[in-house]
Amino acid sequence: MRRNIENEIWGKTLLSLYRHLGAMANSIDNLIKRIGINSAFNHHIYNSTFVDSNKIIELTERKIKIINLKVLIEKSLDNLKINDLKVLSLYYIDGLNYKKILEVLDVSERTFFRRKELAVARFAENLNNLGYGAHRLNEYLKNESWIKNTYYQVINSTSKVFGSKKSNNQYKLMKLVLNDFGSNHLNKSFY
């Protein structure tokens, strides 16, 4: 297997985001509801219905993109061998730290990290085989700054994608997404 580092970075990025995609889709639904409700009370603003309709359409398109990513990730995971799937699921999807995974899998630290890197490489290869290599993902997700931000975090990280302050980073990710989705329609108490 010929490894492609950029594809692997995208693989790690998508795996890191996978468990958050459902929450992101729900957040978009909540934003759309709020825009609709707020639109009913903005009669004094010229073209507010037009602006709100366009925002709802944009948010709906972004939700479709999130759903498509979720399906793409699942298809790529489905094509993995069971051992690769276990390692990636425990680390990225379940969010266990590697020490706990060592206990669960009963393997050495070196073995775990080797298996994880090989599993990520195979996952990235599956993405590429489905037509979503690095170039296509860069193009497809170029306007999704919250995903690109995670991509750059993966590039800058050495051993952990989100570091040790996982809950703080999850909060920052959610806030970034909501800001990116145009949360200016929301009041500040939503955060």
Q: Which residues of the chain have pLDDT under 50?
A: 158-167, 183-191
> Taking the model in full, what pTM does it have?
0.78
Cα(137)–Cα(127) distance, rounded to whole angstroms? 10
Position 47, amino acid:
N
The reported pLDDT for the residue numbered 160 is 45
DSSP state of 59: H
DSSP characters over 154-189: HHH-SS-SS-S-HHHHHHHHHHHHHHHTTGGGS-GG
13 contacts 151 by C-beta, under 8 angstroms: yes
What does the alpha-carbon distance between residue 29 and residue 38 come to, in Å, rounded to a whole number?
Answer: 14
Q: What is the pLDDT of residue 49?
A: 78
Q: How far apart are CA 179 and CA 77, in angstroms?
A: 30
Both tokens of 8, joined, read 């692997």
Per-residue pLDDT at 123 = 97
